[in-house]
Amino acid sequence: MSSQTDPQETAPAAAGTTALPDEVAALLKRDAAGLVAAIVQQHDTGEVLMLGWMDDEALQRTLTTGRVTFYSRSRQQYWRKGDTSGHVQWVKSVALDCDGDALLVKVDQVGAACHTGTRTCFDGRPLDAVAGSAAPAAEGVR
């Protein structure tokens, strides 16, 4: 592998510059860096595994290859989950939220999803929170 990186491979793709269908690209609400949050969930258990970021190119790769591709904000390059760790995410479905600013990617996770080696990125770091109640609201309150 060359020590120099091709900017076409590392920089986030501008909207409309990838093979992502126009009708899909038009639904996305990207942040200032051109990225959309991608929540990754185990397809059969509902377990939330991780959060990653995608631009149009990463989403197109995810939709067309059967493997999840993200855009790394820290390394400023694309990465496909499992290429170095072996902890592959096989795509089962992809959905866009109602606002167009988040994706839900359901996968079959092989091995750990977190770079720390844990099953999910949400293991072992609970925060104290007051638990709410699902009790019916008082009459007249909406």
Q: Is residue 124 pLDDT above 90, yes or no?
A: no
Rounded Cα gap, residues 3 and 7, in angstroms: 13
Rounded Cα gap, residues 12 and 7, in angstroms: 9
Least reliable range by pLDDT among 73-77, 130-134, 136-140: 136-140
> Left if phi > 0, otherwise alpha if psi is -120 to 50, otherwise beta: which for 28?
beta
pLDDT higher for 87 or 124? Answer: 87
Task: Using DSSP, state whether 37 is helix, strand or coil.
Answer: strand
pLDDT tens-digit readout, 4-40: 333 334 445 444 445 889 999 998 999 898 899 999 9
Secondary structure tally for the chain: helices H, strands E? 3, 6
What is the gyration radius of the CA atoms in the chain, in angstroms?
18
Query: Longest C-alpha distance within the chain, in Å?
Result: 67
Whole-number average pLDDT of the chain:
85
The pLDDT of residue 140 is: 63
